[in-house]
Structure 1
Amino acid sequence: MEDSQVTFLLELGVTGFRDRGDPPLPSTDPQTCRAAWYAAARAAGGQVEDFTEQEYPQNFHSATISDRDGAHIALFHAHYPLIAFVGDRRYWYTDEFQEPPTWAAVLTDNGFVVLSAAQLLLPLTESDTSALSATEWRQIKHWQPDTLGATLFNSWD
């Protein structure tokens, strides 16, 4: 897991939007996400309840593992290997982010960046947004996300 004191760099297209002339957005393969989620379930001693692929306008896949501590819900970013944990399923998120369980380190071992609640709840102004496009800035100005997490995991259309 990353240190919350390090400024988070938002990559071009991380909002799910791009300028017409920009290259296509990268894609986080749902099968890769699913495989990592099953590995996490084994590490947790739990079972995968579901894995739901991203549907427009959401820019994230979602998944649930149930173990002896209850249900754990993760959001897998559809374009970058980023993961956030949340308390429940919603259409969009603003400040509902949670700390990842200890077994989430398995997701890091599988090439994902597991974000802490502290990182996700930081104001967007505390992140490095220099790589974002004009189109992304128009969306940010329109939707006015308060946090890094609300910017990264969104349902903007």
Structure 2
Amino acid sequence: MKLRPGITSFFEGHERDSIPKYSIAEFKHLVHALALLQGSKIGSISECGITPNFHTAELQMEGTRLFVLGHSNFPVIAFVEQLNHADQQLRFVDNLNVAGEISRLCPEVEIGQTSDLSRLITNDDLAVLTVVEQKQVAYWKPRTIGQLVFNWWD
């Protein structure tokens, strides 16, 4: 997973225009196209807010549910089988079938793999972040890349 300045969705006011946005419209377009190709139903789609820093969509397919998370600033997607806003714990899963469809539909979208998202944060990872983000990391104390990228920090 490519870390870059702004990946935590924290930035200084003067940086606002330089940090991209992955809009809910782009995310919805992807989810609707994906559901059509997969023959799945969309249970819900939610836009990011101040917290969490990601959009969510619930796909219902073949008796299972898969939640698609879309980062609010970068075209980065991840998957979880359960989404509980109360405990704010994301247990990332890989879904090669859905990931393959997303890659075909939107090659610019990066798909977070469980091995990357569960990797512990290193000093090299922190060096990529802005000073404001580094301060947030010191406060919130994420341990993994997934906790850094997809978060409920306010």
- TM-score tier by shorter-chain length is 0.7 to 0.9
2:153 matches 1:156: yes
Q: Is the 8 A contact 2:83 2:90 kept in 1?
A: no
Partner of 1:27: 21
Q: Is the 8 A contact 2:126 2:134 kept in 1?
A: no
Partner of 1:89: 83
What letter corresponds to residue 134 of structure 1 in structure 2? V
Alignment RMSD, CA only?
1.9
2:42 matches 1:45: no
Shift of residue 42, structure 1, vs aligned partner: 2.0
Deviating more after overlay: 107-116 vs 10-19:
107-116
Q: What aligned pairs does 1:1-157 form with structure 2 within 5 A after superposition?
A: 8-24=1-17, 25-91=19-85, 93-94=88-89, 96-109=91-104, 110=106, 111-125=108-122, 128-157=125-154
After TM superposition, where is structure 1 displaced by more than 4 Å over at least 4 residues in a row? 92-95
Mapped to 2, the partners of 1:149 and 1:126 lie a distance apart of 16
- Using a 3 Å threshold, how does the CA distance of structure 1 residues 105 and 142 change in structure 2: closer, same or farther? same
Q: Structure 1, residues 70-114: CA drift from partner, whole Å, max 9, x if none?
A: 111011000000011112112274451111241222222313111
Q: Is the 8 A contact 1:15 1:154 kept in 2?
A: yes
Q: Where in structure 1 are there 5+ consecutive unaligned residues?
A: 1-7
Q: Is the 8 A contact 1:84 1:100 kept in 2?
A: no
Higher helix proportion (structure 1 or 2)? 2
Q: Structure 1, residues 18-47: CA drift from partner, whole Å, max 9, x if none?
A: 124424321102111111111111222211
What letter corresponds to residue 113 of structure 2 in structure 1? S
- Using a 3 Å threshold, how does the CA distance of structure 1 residues 57 and 14 change in structure 2: closer, same or farther? same
Mapped to 1, the partners of 2:90 and 2:39 lie a distance apart of 28
What letter corresponds to residue 114 of structure 1 in structure 2? I
Q: Is the 8 A contact 1:121 1:149 kept in 2?
A: yes
Q: Where in structure 2 are there 5+ consecutive unaligned residues?
A: none
Overall identity of the aligned pairs, in %: 24
Deviating more after overlay: 31-40 vs 104-113:
104-113
Q: Is the 8 A contact 1:9 1:128 kept in 2?
A: no
Mapped to 1, the partners of 2:40 and 2:61 lie a distance apart of 4
